[in-house]
Amino acid sequence: MKAVFVTRGCLMRGSNVEATMSAMRSLAQSGLYTILLGTGPDDGQPTDGALNQQLVERITAGGGRIDATTHCPHGAGQNCYCWGAHPGFLWQASRDLDLRLDESYTLCDSPTDVSLAYMAGCRPILVLHGRSIESLYEGHQPDPTDFPIARDLTRAIDYILCEESTAAELGYPRPPSAYAALEEGESTIAFPDNVPPQALPILTAFTSPILAKGTRPAQIIRYGGRWLVLFIIGGVWLSLGIAYLLTHLYRVRPFPEFVWYLTLQFIPRPVRGGLFILTGVLVLLVALRSVREMFPTAIRWGKDQNR
């Protein structure tokens, strides 16, 4: 699954509210999940996520969509893997929502956001909102340099939609970028094994196509089980109908000689029935595997997310 991570600064810095809402409506139509990223501790105090909720309500009222939010519950002096030296917001979303960070985007408001997106293996897009590159980087050359820079949020989202359209038709136009500043052995898409749970950020998933980890088993049983039962009943009913028609045709008219070979008449009926059952099971397994690839988040909820 792929997502667009939007930092709060990208939504709050723009002065044209209608343009911001229009851009978020376009993003909502893309099929990409949208996750609002909070900030680290404010003046040494934990962030309670209230501002995130206000932004979600405002964007939803304007026709956009936010699938999940993240915020930092830590204060000054606490062990924190949310932001700053660690891209914990992105790691947490990847682990809990089964996201592919190397195929996701981060709309960045500052050079720090760009560096952290690279550290997580995510593709950054820096949004200027009236600022210059020289002022953001204090006159220095951006490092790394292989990331797009957009004048405003509308152009940034247009870029993402263009990239996704190109990827759908031709495949990804470029390989995922690797940030040179990563330490040896540091993971780019998952938390290191030694991170304590209390140091993690808080992720809140809303009612949307994204299923939070705790709700996935119930959703799979409810919807996946119902689909499987109906699929099997429909297949059995269809098979019985075909069998009745073939039996009737056998009794009322002769068939060409090749039908005798095609229907395996030269094999005893019990063996013939076993062969048909075996091949039918194999076809069903191939079909279920295809369904699994279509819905990776729902089917793979129980797998280890530390990729």
Write out pLDDT tens, residues 184-211. 333 344 556 677 778 888 888 875 444 4
89 and 195 in one domain?
yes
d(CA 165, CA 30): 10
168 and 228 in one domain?
no
d(CA 24, CA 18): 10
Domain residues for the domain of 11 are 3-210
247 and 131 in one domain?
no
Q: Give the model's confidence band at 126: pLDDT under 50 very low, under 70 low, under 90 confident, else very high.
A: very high
16 and 147 in one domain?
yes
Local structure of 219: helix, strand or coil:
helix
| Rounded (10°) angle between helices 153-170 and 17-28 | 20
d(CA 92, CA 102): 14
Whether residue 230 lies inside any domain: the answer is yes
156 and 26 in one domain?
yes
Whether residue 307 lies inside any domain: the answer is no
Cis ω before 144 (30° cut-off from 0) = yes
pLDDT at residue 125 in the model: 94
141 and 77 in one domain?
yes
Domain of 108, CATH number, reads: 3.40.50.1000
For a pLDDT cut of 70, what percent of the chain falls above it? 77
Q: What is the tally of structural domains in the chain?
A: 2
